[in-house]
Structure 1
Amino acid sequence: MEKQPADRTQKGPDFKQMELEDITSKISALDKWRAIFSSHGLENCRPAIKTIQDNHKGDKENEDRPETSSNKKHATFPGSVLYSIPKELIISSELGGQPITIEMAMELRKILFGNTFQTFTYEWKKSFFKFREAFSNLAYALEAEKGGTRAIQMVVQAHIIKHLLFTKNYQDYGSFNSLSEISQKQQEKALAASLADILWTTGAMNKAIVCLITNESYFSESPNYKTDNFTEKLHLFEFVEKDKLEKFLCAHIYSFKDEGSHGVILFLYSVLFSRTILRIQHDLDYTKNHLLHFCLGNYTVRQAVLNLILTGRASPHVFNGDQILEEQIPEQKLHGVLTRSEVGYLHWNRDEMEQNKLPQVGSMLKTPKYPIWLCNINGTYSVLFGTNTSLLCDWKMEHIFDLYFYSGQLSQTKTARLTVDTHSHPWEGRYKTEEADHEKRFPSLEMTVRTKWEGAAITWNGTLPFF
């Protein structure tokens, strides 16, 4: 007689007890994983919890089998390498410097987020300074993320270009072709020199701080501070000589350029400590009291961060000098840019133009010491640069000249070359005789260039116009 399947409705007490114990065991396992995720800053990573749930279903089938290389189970944490610093990137606390204190960490949080409980998102934690392939068309270039860290990566990119084109350490000084002949070692040296320049400038040319990570936490969570398993491990190194600063950065450049290093955050922390939190608070005005802005699920940097990296001062505005809104209320002073920067800044946004809210960038940023500009085009950051330093100090050089453009996007495989003619204005005749709005018909990059050279004609030299 064919054996009938067991009636699942006729379960005895022992069977029900076994089911209850199995469910309890699984819940306990999930609680254990949640605790592990929390300690790694992954408490909100639901996809990882789901993966562990799915893997746990097969545990009963394997528990009586001998453990082999083929059936050995490993817990996998999606993205965990990006949350936890790899061991090879962690420095020894015996190297020197001083450990961060909880008071310093709280000051960091307040100046960045406005409180001590918000922490950096996944996108920020995974961001670092990654170069394109050495000895390629874009050997000089960094890969830039699309989100909130892109602005910092691209302003560092501008300083890298300055170093590669306008320092005499390179054979083809000021030559565009030299940018495609950069080795990996030269990439690392250029990054270290650029970070050193920025930190030395923010430290008022007499001091700089470099933040690195150790393998021990110097304080734990408190009612007034939420840990992130990162900031609590900071070690601060102070330098009063720029040469020693650059050598130190060269020796530890992997802490900023390797995957999992949290390199962008480390650099931002170093910038803030070099300037000092107290000075930054004085740099800001009554319109702003912290440096990051939360929008669409992520943090973006305010203008004060860009100005800090560009000029050494965290002024919230891009016009020259300070402006007093009302003489009767002197504390309502708006802080602008006080000094001419080495790397400049240009801004264009179609929506702001239509609403007549386009910020007027002052000459301190529009006319930097070197022909290199960080560009904010419709909220996306990129770099525009020339190779002739006379462009900004000799009006005869501004007749016809070339500018080069790098967007930071992986889709760009070679640097775009634009030829700018400031004496011929054929485009003006077209838009003045047509009803269409010329700001909507010309590429935003061209309109960005025209904020510096009004009315210039621009040729893309065979490249399909973009941006």
Structure 2
Amino acid sequence: MDPEISVQEQNPLELDLNEITRKLLFLDQWRGVLRYYRLGSSHTTPQNHDDSHIPAEETGDRPRMFWSQGRGQLPPSSVCSIPRLSVNSSKLHGFPISPAMATMLQKSIFGNMNQVLGGDWRKAHFKFHDPFSDLAFALQVEKGGAQSIQMAVQGSIIKYLLFTREGKDCSLHSLCNLSQREQEQALAAVLAGILWAAGAAQKAIVCWLSSIKDIHSTGTLDYSSDNFIERLQLFEFSEKEATEKFVYDHLQCFKGEGSHGVILFLYSLVLSRTFERLQKDLDTTTTHLLQSQAGSVLCRQAVLNLILTGRASPNVFSGSEEGTSEETLHGVLARSDVGYLQWSKDTSAGDRLSQAGSMLKTPAFPIWLCNINRNYSILFCTNRQLLSDWKMERVFDLYFYSGQPSQRKPVRLTIDTHSHHWEREHHEDKHGSGRRSSSLEMAIRTKWREATINWNGSIPFC
């Protein structure tokens, strides 16, 4: 065995994680190459070691190796050799995930090798309400851990439909007047855009499931408890437009019944971010992305921040803070496009680190993912200038989508930020029964402290 890849006789716990990963990947890359030539195509034979001059269309889906003095070496910016696909490519072939990469993915998601995602996650996919309806812009969601991902994606869908697609006005009518094709275009653009941002605008990786019969034997390494991760096929893109076209052409992998669409998007998100960047994003408070709680598997904040900002920051405050043990805690470093508001009746008002910072509360677009008592919803305004002109913030409308099956259309809330406290109390009590503030209203006041909220005839339900 090459001395460069032999593990020294020392306590494995003392080995650097990156060094262990590098050695596993190195070994696994050789296994993949040997397996390729043992099982591979009839038109390919190993000749000169250096194949970097061969055009991609001639190498097909063969893994690209970098050779030095007769010895294969992984490119430093990659954890696995995945085919780079052109937007004009007529033959798209994914590369099966390697055992080492699957192990790292499993540990990044769960922190261990035993956890699996249950039925609520496996059923979750990205499905719109009916076209040309009051909720044509909205995804259908159900309770469960995947809801937070769906609603985070929902915020970006609204951003795209209202503010970034061409030729449409910024109005509620434009959100409701959507055809199925427009829904699919929006979903593809948003999913691809989120993956591209996670890849630092350098690359994106999209994965889907192969059939069980396509899984090749990879030795005795057991890296999944549910025969799911080892079925992943990976596709890497170096252009955002190519990513979007590929996602649109294969959108059924994310929106179809039984597609495991949310899980595949989560895996694509992590792989696009890369394990190296992910490790730098996280801190001692968060070492993996999902957590078990009360019988459910829930997303940690790092997943939501990765969708919102492109970085898996584990906390909601802005910048960095010092923790109780003098360790550095990582917060949000840049203003996000879609914001985030958080309120829970169980959270102490004095818990400064649990409160969303200005980077999330004041996004580039007037759209907010809301975490209210651990249920996720969306607030948005159709006025692009709301957060850039202080005069617009005196009295304005916000629309609220809860994701609850009983909601048939977005609720219009009128926000008055300059009313006096006695006017607010009088207004909020006029619904009777001594009603004070709903949880949604409390979340809104984390952004506009003295705001009066008028539900415009709707009965407060959140």
Does TM, normalized by the shorter one, top 0.5?
A: yes
Deviations 1:47-79 (A, max 9, x none): xxxxxxxxxxxxxxxxxxxxxxxxxxxxxxxxx
The one-letter code of the counterpart of 1:352 is: T
Kindly report which structure 2 residues correspond to 1:407-418, keeping only aligned pairs within 5 A, or say none. 407-418=402-413
In the other structure, the counterpart of 1:290 is 288
In 2, are the aligned partners of 1:114 and 1:290 still within 8 Å (CA)? yes
In 2, are the aligned partners of 1:319 and 1:362 still within 8 Å (CA)? yes
Kindly report which structure 2 residues correspond to 1:250-269, keeping only aligned pairs within 5 A, or say none. 250-269=248-267
TM-score using structure 2 length: 0.75
In 2, are the aligned partners of 1:424 and 1:456 still within 8 Å (CA)? yes
In the other structure, the counterpart of 1:122 is 119
The 1:176–1:429 alpha-carbon spacing in structure 2 relative to 1, beyond 3 Å, is closer
Deviations 1:395-444 (A, max 9, x none): 0110111000000111000100000011113457639xx9xxxx983111
Q: CA deviation at 1:356?
A: 5.2
In 1, are the aligned partners of 2:106 and 2:224 still within 8 Å (CA)? no
Q: CA deviation at 1:180?
A: 1.0
Q: Which of 330, 339, 346 is the equivalent residue of 2:341?
A: 346
The 1:218–1:346 alpha-carbon spacing in structure 2 relative to 1, beyond 3 Å, is farther
The 1:214–1:385 alpha-carbon spacing in structure 2 relative to 1, beyond 3 Å, is same
The one-letter code of the counterpart of 2:279 is: Q
Shifted more, 129-138 versus 349-358: the winner is 349-358
In the other structure, the counterpart of 2:84 is none
In the other structure, the counterpart of 2:13 is none
Distance (whole Å) between structure 1 residues aligned to residue 344 and residue 219 of structure 2 = 42
In 1, are the aligned partners of 2:425 and 2:436 still within 8 Å (CA)? no
Deviations 1:201-223 (A, max 9, x none): 10101111111222212446846
**Residue 441 (structure 2) pairs with residue 443 (structure 1):** no
Distance (whole Å) between structure 1 residues aligned to residue 110 and residue 217 of structure 2 = 20
In 1, are the aligned partners of 2:194 and 2:307 still within 8 Å (CA)? yes
Q: CA deviation at 1:322?
A: 0.9
More helix by share: 1
In the other structure, the counterpart of 2:192 is 196
Q: CA deviation at 1:230?
A: 2.4
Distance (whole Å) between structure 2 residues aligned to residue 193 and residue 129 of structure 1 = 13
Distance (whole Å) between structure 2 residues aligned to residue 416 and residue 440 of structure 1 = 19
Q: Which runs of 5+ in 2 are unaligned?
A: 1-90
In 2, are the aligned partners of 1:220 and 1:232 still within 8 Å (CA)? no
In the other structure, the counterpart of 2:107 is 110
Q: What secondary structure, in the 3-state scheme, does the structure 1 residue paired with 2:269 have?
A: helix
Distance (whole Å) between structure 1 residues aligned to residue 159 and residue 328 of structure 2 = 33
Provide the alpha-carbon RMSD of the alignment.
Answer: 2.3
Instruction: Pick the structure with greater CA Rg.
Output: 1
In the other structure, the counterpart of 1:183 is 179
Distance (whole Å) between structure 2 residues aligned to residue 221 and residue 386 of structure 1 = 54
TM-score using structure 1 length: 0.75
In the other structure, the counterpart of 1:375 is 370
In the other structure, the counterpart of 1:137 is 134
Distance (whole Å) between structure 1 residues aligned to residue 298 and residue 146 of structure 2 = 7
In 1, are the aligned partners of 2:309 and 2:336 still within 8 Å (CA)? yes
Distance (whole Å) between structure 2 residues aligned to residue 245 and residue 305 of structure 1 = 21
The one-letter code of the counterpart of 2:119 is: Y
Shifted more, 204-213 versus 377-386: the winner is 204-213
In 2, are the aligned partners of 1:427 and 1:457 still within 8 Å (CA)? no
Distance (whole Å) between structure 2 residues aligned to residue 269 and residue 181 of structure 1 = 32
How many equivalent residue pairs? Answer: 366
Percent identity at matched positions?
A: 56
**Residue 270 (structure 2) pairs with residue 272 (structure 1):** yes
